[in-house]
Amino acid sequence: MIIAFGILILTLIIGVPVSFAFLATTVYIIFSLGYDTSFLIPFGFSQMNNFLLLALPLFIMIGGIMDKGRIADKLIEFAELFVQKIKASLGIVVIFSCAIFGSISGSSVAALMAIGQIMSPKLKESGYPRGYSAALLSSASVLGMLIPPSTIMILFAWAGNQSVLASFLSTVIPGVILIILLSIINVVLMRKENIKKPNDINSTETMPVKFRKRTIAASPGLALPIIVLGSIYGGFMTPTEAAAVAVLYAIPVGFWVYKGLTKDNFLTVMKETAITTGVIMLMIYGTSLLSRMMVMEDIPNRLTDILLSVSENKFIILLMINLFLILMAMLIDDISGVLLLTPILLPVAVNIGVDPVHFAAILAVNLGMGNITPPTAPLLYFGSQVGKVPITEMIKPTIIMIIFAWLPTLMITTYLPELSLFLPKLILGY
């Protein structure tokens, strides 16, 4: 198994795509331990033949339609209403907009692309250092995977056989803590910068008029999370059905209300949705085979024994799990991370008395932080492309955000389980 893990790491390092790295490890284990492929191949397939996983392409579709449909402009204008009096308000608008967009699309990449393309020029115009702006956008876009609905949590629920609804809710409070901490960092770091207030073309309008106009303009977009979350938590629809109805609602909004959607880019969204889904599903296929063999080799229990041999203190074991998660999240992207690590670490966490829904939040915050922590840091690279800035200029502000926002959020989430379990208990009676 150590050689298998070595093969996984080596294939990842030499640039083999993650899904194929999983398959390479699987092939090695099958040949070396003599597993029967006539059992494993259909097993992996049966895992994909699942109605819950259908929610993924539909949420990816929402993200694509909202991105092309230019909903982000209206959401940003809406978010500006709440922080106009603060000096570094535009930075806070970025954070809030990413959180709202994340609650619509369920994807951090979609949030970064949509909000980043609009906010990068605005931040530059207002005098924000460009490296800082790109770093803030990258960090804030991770809120897309913490604020429900979140594709990562759908995958966690599937891989760990947990409630999707409880998993969605577990990351809300950590997400809110992150919003607050990132906003404070933004205000503190920008206090000495020469920040100009954004040019508001409607500045002659009174606040109530501005509020009314912007709320009306943003409301077709803001209705989306209400449709999705309301119908799921109201018990009317499954996450898959809610996502489909939301897409059906988003299409006319994109075409005729926000007018960003055209026939051509609609077809592109449909094609890209299928490709992205195919890429994720191949990862799911690979991890299904790999995790099945790991369970058959009793890896989670052996890992628990190793951790317990170091210490029997739950807090120290949680710290070790977090260190392992941080290292893994630095190497692999969030989707691969949740698919690979859930079947291995969830049983370990449960063995030491951690609630599975609490673990969902710990995993999500770790993988979120891994998205902006080099060397892999996919969102940091996207952020540098969107902000058109070398990644070296983003490193210092990113480290500050990791130390003063991400790590405290991770520690609070890990050691105060009540925070992640509060909403599942309140809403679902979990």
Partner 1 sequence: MKKLGKFLYDGLLKFEKVFLILSSVLILLFVCATVFMRYLFKVDLYGFGEVVLLIAVWMYFIGASHGTFTKSHVNIDIVDLLIQNQNIRSGIKILSSLIVFLLCVIFSLWSFDQFLSGIESGEKSLVLRIPMYVPESSLFVGFLLMSLHSLINLIKDIKEAFFSKRELVLNDEKLG
Q: Where on the chain is the footprint of partner 1 (CB under 8 A)?
A: 11-20, 23-24, 27, 37-38, 41-42, 45, 48-51, 53-54, 57-58, 61, 236-237, 240-241, 244-245, 247-248, 267, 270-271, 273-279, 281-283, 331-333, 335-336, 375-376, 378, 381
Tell the smallest beta-carbon distance from residue 9 to partner 1 (Å). 10
Tell the smallest beta-carbon distance from residue 342 to partner 1 (Å). 17
Cα–Cα distance for residue pair 393/134, rounded to 1 Å: 9
Indicate the residue among 61 and 146 with the shorter CB distance to partner 1. 61
Counting Cα atoms < 13 Å in the Cβ hemisphere of 24 gives 18
Tell the smallest beta-carbon distance from residue 324 to partner 1 (Å). 18
Tell the smallest beta-carbon distance from residue 368 to partner 1 (Å). 16
Indicate the residue among 144 and 356 with the shorter CB distance to partner 1. 144
Q: DSSP secondary structure string, 347-399? A: HHHHHTT--HHHHHHHHHHHHHHHTTSTTT-HHHHHHHHHTT--HHHHHHHHH
Tell the smallest beta-carbon distance from residue 364 to partner 1 (Å). 18
DSSP state of 196: P
Indicate the residue among 331 and 411 with the shorter CB distance to partner 1. 331
Q: What token pair was written down for 341?
A: 């690590």
Indicate the residue among 170 and 240 with the shorter CB distance to partner 1. 240
Question: Can you list the alpha helix ranges (DSSP code H) found in 14-52?
Answer: 18-33, 37-48
Tell the smallest beta-carbon distance from residue 290 to partner 1 (Å). 13
Cα–Cα distance for residue pair 362/347, rounded to 1 Å: 14
Cα–Cα distance for residue pair 53/51, rounded to 1 Å: 5
Tell the smallest beta-carbon distance from residue 31 to partner 1 (Å). 10
Cα–Cα distance for residue pair 236/248, rounded to 1 Å: 17
Indicate the residue among 41 and 184 with the shorter CB distance to partner 1. 41
Residue type present at position 163:
S
Q: What token pair was written down for 119?
A: 């906010």
Other Cβ atoms less than 10 A from the Cβ of 397: the count is 21
- In contact, 337 and 399? CB cutoff 8 Å: no
Name, in order, each residue with C-beta under 8 angstroms of 36's C-beta and a sequence gap of 6 or more: none
Which residue, among 77, 76, 122, 86, has the nearest Cα to 213 in the 3D structure?
77
Indicate the residue among 19 and 366 with the shorter CB distance to partner 1. 19
Indicate the residue among 62 and 83 with the shorter CB distance to partner 1. 62
Indicate the residue among 390 and 408 with the shorter CB distance to partner 1. 390
Tell the smallest beta-carbon distance from residue 405 to partner 1 (Å). 25
